[in-house]
Copies of this chain bind each other. A is one copy, B any other.
């Protein structure tokens, strides 16, 4: 579905700081992309919902399907807004896009950058770089909405959440993760789960990891319970290369991964459909941060790096590498004492690519 000479891009700036960081990501994308970027903008998010009650009309979803990729800022309204039922945008927009477009690989690279302060003490990494990627399953697990409740609001209420794990869904994401591990230098894949408690789901993940491993004899396979992974991420994060895990564990692991490598302001992600049967979606891991929206102080780096993942996914590997190098150079020269505006960061990175 992608054309050689252009990228047909659906842009969903979203809420809060979403539009601000998206503008900078687009600026950089335009500067580096070797082909024309044709943007269609979709105003989806809290504002539209509050005005019209619409979250993601089917017709809009169908239009979005016609694009090569999606660039998303962030969605989510003001916490506690009585007119916004909790999670309605996250589920109705973000998760709906991930599910409808079958984004089964939620790709989240984590690395330390020269010049970026991290919360970890020097003795933890011993000067070694953290550089790993989390392949988070994106279409199953406890994110499927397969739960329910009885006697709601009474002392006899019971509420359930069902984690759904299919061999079909697990095998494809595990195979993708092995492929990525195979292409990396260290070729180490770590399955993160909780097989000792979640025995049914754990068994599928475990079995398919062992099975797909046969196809990748060069890749070393490791396993870690999710609680143990917390400890290793905090005390020995350089040991990781590729982590594969389920939707909810991936949500948790990647926020910690972002935190230990310099913060959510740098964490990029791709919601990828590796089969390219629908457009993949690229977004910073951070949320809409309504508290700092409109002030022009949000760091657009995660959004810019997400645009890099987008280029890479669409086969523009050189442009993606150039973008990452520009961000790296920018980060290395940042003066921690001077806070630059959102626009200034975008301008600086784009200037390096002009």
Interface residues of A (CB under 8 A from B): 76, 86-87, 90-91, 95, 117-124, 142-143, 145-149, 151-168, 171, 194-204, 206-207, 226-228, 230-231, 233-235, 248, 251-252, 254-256, 258-260, 263-264
Contacts and interface: CB of A to CB of B under 8 A. Distances in A.
Contacts of A91: 196-197, 199
Contact of A157 (B145, B166, B199): B166
Given A121-B122, A123-B117, A158-B166, A149 B202 contact: no
A258 B231 CA distance: 8
A58 B153 CA distance: 37
Identical copies of this chain, number: 2
A200 B231 contact: no
A276 to B, nearest CB: 22
B197 A143 contact: yes
Interface centre among A143, A147, A228, A254 (most CB of B within 10 A): A147
Contact of A197 (B87, B164, B207): B87
A145 B227 CA distance: 18
B197 A95 contact: yes
A201 B158 CA distance: 8
Contacts of A259: 230-231, 234-235
Nearest to A235: B119
In the complex, the 8 A-B pairs of residues with the closest C-beta atoms, listed nearest first: A87-B196, A159-B200, A234-B259, A227-B255, A157-B167, A230-B256, A147-B200, A161-B163
